[in-house]
Amino acid sequence: MRLIKIGVVIVCLLSLVNLGVFFLSPRHSKTSLVTIEQGMNSQEIAELLEQEGLISSKKYFLFLLRLRGVHRKIKAGIYEIDSKESTWRIISKLFLGESKKIRLTIPEGFTAREIAQLIKEKGLGEKDRFLQIVEERNLEGYLFPETYFVEYDVSLEEVIDMMTDQFNKVFTKEMEQRGKEFKLTKRDVVILASIIEKEAVKDEERPLISAVFHNRLKKRWYLESCATVQYALGEHKEKLTYKDVKVDSPYNTYIHFGLPPGPICNPGLAAIEAALYPAETDLMFFVTKGEGTHRFSTYYKKHLEVQKKKSKTN
């Protein structure tokens, strides 16, 4: 008899739940992104959902939480909830942690500082802490540009690991071997690719710009990359002054031979491939024409003529 009574009670409770799902769910359709922050209690969550018009009764929501035994097991996250969803379904979503992942797109050529700003804007962590980890692990250049989908409560270390893991997937053993043919280490290739990434705008010009830098390295000429000077200055300038190109920095390739000590940005696959497969040419100079294109020259005299024509048109 006792078991029968318990069974009747359970059936009645389930019936009440089903009735509540039908009568207490909002009738209109509305989709909202709801942020459940770490440490929020069930009362605060119920109030938030009620304010957003996603549940009709705060008390009923709390009753179902306790009935299911998950009132202390709601997971933090950003949830996409439709007001047509039943209260029972909303609770399942919050309990199972079916949060909406955050889309994080890292553009090619972004520096660690620019990525840190994106991280901050997405609410994934503090900018200074991100930069501290990158600096400690010497990861400028290895934060691979890609679109990542990350959980709300992901740590900065996990975000950084995602980027470096992707770099390690993209930069193959064959690429490393190809670099050795130019007497370049893996890091050298990344450094060169980062300069190409910053100098080139048009896809078709990457191999040409790469060839210029390869030819200069062979002849022990200064690379004279404006992009490295801008990195040393810590700002982007449309036109560098004579004083700028004399800035005292190991990244200034106007006054230091060879490659700078580290990457100046995080290059994408196209720039890495350009660094490894330069065009077969004896070009030694290039100067911007504007709108992302350049004029290339083999001889200094021709290069001066191009610069003179450019200065007249500006």
Pull the structure tokens for residue 116. 């840190």
Domain check: are 161 and 202 in the same one?
Answer: no
Residue 118's pLDDT is 96
The Cβ-side half-sphere exposure at 92, using a 13 Å CA radius, reads 5
Contacts 24+ apart (CB under 8 A), 233-238: none
Write the pLDDT tens digit of every residue in 236-278.
887 888 899 999 999 999 999 999 999 999 999 999 999 999 9
- Compute the average pLDDT of residues 2-24: 45
* Domain C-terminal end among 170, 198, 220: 170
d(CA 178, CA 274): 12
Q: Is 124 a domain residue?
A: yes
Find all residues with CB under 8 Å of 155, minimum gap 6, and list them: 125
Task: Specify if 175 maps to a domain.
Answer: no
Residues 204 and 239 in one domain: yes
Is the same domain home to 135 and 92?
no
Chain centroid offset of residue 117 CA: 10
267 plus 165 within the same structural domain:
no
Please check the confidence at residue 36 and state whether its pLDDT lies above 90: no
Q: Which parts of 122-249 fold into alpha helices (H)?
A: 127-136, 156-170, 173-181, 186-199, 206-218, 226-233
Q: Residue 313: what pLDDT?
A: 56
- Indicate whether 161 and 233 sit together in one domain: no
Whether residues 166 and 68 share a domain: the answer is no
Do 58 and 129 share a domain, yes or no? no
Range of the domain at 89: 27-96
For 299-310, the DSSP string reads SHHHHHHHHHHH
Domain co-membership, 106 together with 89:
no
Distance CA 206, CA 163 (A): 23
DSSP 46-63: HHHHHHTTS-S-HHHHHH
Last residue of a domain, one of 40, 62, 96: 96
- Which positions ≥6 away from 121 have C-beta within 8 Å? none
Q: Helix (H, G, I), strand (E, B), or coil: what is residue 145? A: coil
In a domain, 14, yes or no: no
146-197 residue pLDDT tens: 999 898 778 999 999 999 999 999 999 999 999 999 999 999 999 999 999 9
Residue 215 has pLDDT above 50, yes or no: yes
Does residue 139 lie in a domain region? yes
3-class secondary structure, 293: strand
Asked if pLDDT for residue 19 goes beyond 50, the answer is no
Q: Tell me, yes or no, whether 20 lies in a domain.
A: no
Percentages helix, strand, coil for the chain (3-state, rounded to 5) are: 50, 10, 40
**Residue 217: predicted pLDDT:** 97
If phi over 0 gives left and psi between -120 and 50 gives alpha, with beta otherwise, what is residue 96? alpha
pLDDT at 4 over 60: no
For residue 2, being part of any structural domain is answered with: no
pLDDT of 10: 45
Same domain, 209 and 158: no
C-alpha span between 110 and 291 (Å, rounded): 19
Whether 47 maps to a domain, the answer reads yes
Residue 111 and residue 83 share a domain? no
Do 144 and 117 have their domain in common?
yes
As a whole number of angstroms, the distance between CA 264 and CA 196 comes to 10
In this structure, the answer to whether residues 217 and 145 fall within a common structural domain is: no
